[in-house]
Amino acid sequence: MGMINILVVEDEAFIGMNIRRRLEHIGYHVIMVVPSGDEAFQISTEKAPDLVVMDIQLEGGLDGLETAQTLWNRFQIPIVIVTGNIDSNTRMRADQTWCYGFVSKPFFSNELEVAVSKALDRIFTDRYCKKNNYLLNQNYYHPVSDWMRDHPEQFESISDKVEFLNDLVRFHGINLFYSLAKEDSNGLHKVDSKEYFSRLIYYTWDKFKKNVEYQINIQIDIHSIDLDEKVAIPLGIIIFEAVSNAIKYAFTPDHVNSSISVKLSIKPNREHFCLQIKDNGLGFNNIASSQLTEEIMENPNSLGLYLIKCMAQIIQADSMLNGDAGTCLEILVPYKPQER
C-alpha cells in the first residue's frame, strides 16, 4: 500500500491540528484537515485517501455520519469516527460497513494510534482478499486480521504488514480446492479428501523443504471422503499450518529418522472422522494431552495454532494437542455418512 494517506475531518481547528500532528508523528501522511462534510467529499474526489478520521458533529449540510455514509457509498473509503458522545443511537447509526473504529474525546495519542492501526489492518486484509478473490469468505481471512490486530508488536512498520499479507501461502489450499472440486446435483462443490489433502501436503513440503538441512519422511494415510467446501477448506488450512510448523520447528539437524504423518480416518461409530497430524520431533515440554488452551492460542509467535483453533471452531470440531513425545494434533470432525 505504500504511504498511508489520511484525511482528517474536524470543525474545531485546534483539535484537527492536534489529530494531524499525532498521525504524522507515527508515520502517516495527512492529506488535509477540513471542517465540513462537503469539503471532505470534494477532497476525497481529488485525493482518494486510504482512510478518513472524522468527527461526528460537523458544521454545514452533512453531519459526520451522513458524510461517512456518502464517502463509503461513492468511494469505498473506510472511516474512523472521533466523537465526544457515543450514545446508543449514535453507535447504532455508525454500526455500518464503513465504520472501522471509534475514538472518544478527549483521547490520548495511543488511543488514536490503536484505532487507526486496527482500521488499517482491516483495510489490508480487505484489499488483499478482493485482489485474491478465493479469500473472499470472511471466515478464513478474518482470523488473520484479528491476530494482526492483537499482536502489533510482530510488525515494525506498515510495510511489514503488507509483506506479511502478500506472502499468505497458507491460503493456497483454498485455490487448490476450487481447482479440484466438482459440483454435485445440489450445486455444492465437493472434493475427494485423499486427492485434495495429499496434494496439499506435497505442496507444503515442496514450499518449505528448501529451508531445512535434513531429510523428513512424510507419511500420508488419508481415507477417501467426499467433503464440501465448508469442511474441506478449513481442514486444508489446518493441515497446512500443522505440517509447515512441523517442517520448520519440530526437528534439529542431528535428529535421526525425522518423520511427519498425516492420517484421516472414520471413527468406528461413524459419527466422526479424525484428522491426525503427528511428528516425532522435539514436542512441547509443557503441554500435556488436553484441549488447546487460550494461553497457547494467544502465543504471539503462533498464528498457526490460532488459525488451527479458529478453523476447528468453524467446522464445530474438537481439537486436541499432545506434546509429550513429538507433537500430535487431532481434529475430531462430525461426519455424515450420506456425504459419501
Same domain, 310 and 222: yes
Confirm whether 139 is domain-assigned: no
Q: Residue 155's CB: how many other CB atoms inside 10 A?
A: 16
* β-bridge mates for residue 219, sequence order: 261
Average pLDDT in the chain: 79
Confirm whether 137 is domain-assigned: no
Same domain, 117 and 191: no
**pLDDT for position 300:** 37
* Least confident interval from 142-151, 152-161, 325-334: 152-161
Same domain, 11 and 78: yes
Give the pLDDT mean for 203-218: 86
* Least confident interval from 31-40, 204-213, 301-310, 326-335: 301-310
Angle 218-219-221 (CA atoms, 0-180°, nearest 5)? 145
Between 267 and 296, whose confidence is greater? 267
Same domain, 117 and 233: no
Residue 323 has pLDDT above 80, yes or no: no
Give the pLDDT mean for 182-201: 88
Enter the C-alpha cell of residue 205.
513440503
Residue 162 has pLDDT above 90, yes or no: no
Same domain, 35 and 182: no
Same domain, 87 and 215: no
DSSP string, 164-215: HHHT-GGGHHHHHHHHH-EE-TTS-EEEEHHHHHHHHHHHHHHHHGGG-SS-
C-alpha distances in Å from residue 307, one per residue of 143, 163, 189, 302, 313: 7, 19, 23, 9, 10
Give the pLDDT mean for 9-14: 90
**pLDDT for position 110:** 77
Residue 290 has pLDDT above 90, yes or no: no
* Least confident interval from 45-54, 107-116, 155-164, 202-211: 155-164
What confidence category does residue 215 fall into, taking pLDDT thresholds of 50, 70 and 90?
confident
Residue 129 has pLDDT above 70, yes or no: no
Q: Which residues of 221-243 are buried (b: 16+ CB within 10 A; e: fewer)?
A: ebeebbbbbebbbbbbbbbbbbb
Between 116 and 263, whose confidence is greater? 263
What are phi and psi for residue 41, nearest 5 degrees?
Answer: -65, -45
Give the integer Cα–Cα distance in Å for 292 and 62: 50
Same domain, 54 and 190: no
Task: Give the domain extent around 239.
Answer: 169-339
- Residue 29 belongs to domain with CATH number: 3.40.50.2300
Give the pLDDT mean for 320-329: 83
Give the integer Cα–Cα distance in Å for 337 and 223: 13
Give the integer Cα–Cα distance in Å for 37 and 43: 10
pTM > 0.75: yes or no? no
Give the pLDDT mean for 237-251: 91
Give the pLDDT mean for 259-273: 93
Gyration radius of the chain over CA positions: 24
- Number of structural domains the chain divides into: 2
Confirm whether 31 is domain-assigned: yes
Contact 70, 24 (CB under 8 A): no
Of the candidates 273, 275, 276, which has an alpha carbon nearest to the alpha carbon of residue 337? 273
CA atoms within 13 A on the CB side of 82: 28
| Amino acid at position 196, single letter | Y
**pLDDT for position 34:** 93
**pLDDT for position 194:** 93
**pLDDT for position 67:** 84
**Cα(first)–Cα(last) distance of the chain, in Å?**
45
Between 275 and 204, whose confidence is greater? 275
Of the candidates 10, 79, 19, 18, which has an alpha carbon nearest to the alpha carbon of residue 49? 79
**pLDDT for position 334:** 94
DSSP 156: S
Same domain, 116 and 177: no
C-alpha distances in Å from residue 136, one per residue of 67, 112, 119, 128: 27, 29, 18, 9
CA–centroid distance for 263 within its chain: 27
- Beta sheet of 226-228, edge-to-edge order: 182-183, 189-192, 226-228
Give the pLDDT mean for 280-303: 57
What are phi and psi for residue 188, nearest 5 degrees?
Answer: -90, 140
Tell me the pLDDT tens digit for each residue of 88-106. 565 555 555 567 888 887 7
Same domain, 242 and 313: yes
